[in-house]
């Protein structure tokens, strides 16, 4: 069985982002290995990618989105997002990050893949999310960057 991996928007965006060549290289290497994973994201990623100003880049990113399952943002995902916010794991400014975590957890993914070290890929946030998830009877989730997978 392939690991179930949820991709946040940063994993798509980094593919074409030349500002950080090493991150771009590692992202492209991950995409070459994508067949080894069951990949998905949520409708939020589509919404965020639609905001890319460069029309050519936006089109390319949306084509990448076709290669993964896209889950709707359900009432249950929104409710879990609000629980994370109320518990202080995420601030209101980090709402979309909380949505990505809630979506990954409720769609039963093993891993949330992200380049967002400030809000997602860090030991403290992962521990807080997983402590709450366990207390609420939900599954835990690994939150890592592409090189870790």
Look at residue 125 in the predicted model and tell me its pLDDT.
95
The stretch 135-148 carries a mean pLDDT of 97
Angle among Cα 65, 25, 50 to the nearest 5 degrees reads 30
Look at residue 20 in the predicted model and tell me its pLDDT.
95
pTM higher than the cut 0.85:
yes
Calculate the alpha carbon distances from 6 to 19, 32, 54, 144 in Å: 24, 16, 25, 11
CB-based contacts of 94, cutoff 8 Å, min separation 6: 119
Helix (H, G, I), strand (E, B) or coil at 4: strand
The stretch 60-72 carries a mean pLDDT of 96
CB-based contacts of 146, cutoff 8 Å, min separation 6: 11, 14, 26, 27, 29, 30, 113, 115
Report the interhelical angle of 95-106 vs 75-87 (nearest 10°). 120
Look at residue 36 in the predicted model and tell me its pLDDT.
96
Look at residue 93 in the predicted model and tell me its pLDDT.
96
Look at residue 35 in the predicted model and tell me its pLDDT.
95
Rounded to whole angstroms, the Cα distance separating 85 from 145 reads: 23
């Amino acid at each position: 069985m392939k690991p179930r991996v949820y991709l946040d928007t940063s994993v798509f965006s980094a593919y074409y982002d030349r500002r950080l060549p090493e991150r771009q290289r590692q992202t492209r290497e991950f995409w070459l290995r994508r067949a080894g994973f069951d990949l998905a994201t949520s409708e939020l990623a589509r919404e965020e990618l639609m905001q890319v100003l460069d029309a050519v880049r936006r089109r390319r990113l949306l084509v990448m989105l076709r290669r993964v399952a896209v889950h709707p943002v359900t009432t249950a995902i929104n409710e879990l997002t609000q629980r994370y916010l109320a518990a202080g794991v995420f601030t209101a400014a980090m709402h979309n990050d909380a949505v990505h975590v809630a979506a990954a957890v409720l769609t039963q993914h093993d891993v949330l893949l992200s380049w967002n070290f400030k809000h997602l890929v860090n030991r403290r946030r992962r521990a807080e999310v997983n402590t709450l998830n366990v207390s609420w009877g939900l599954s835990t989730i690994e939150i890592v960057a592409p090189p870790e997978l």
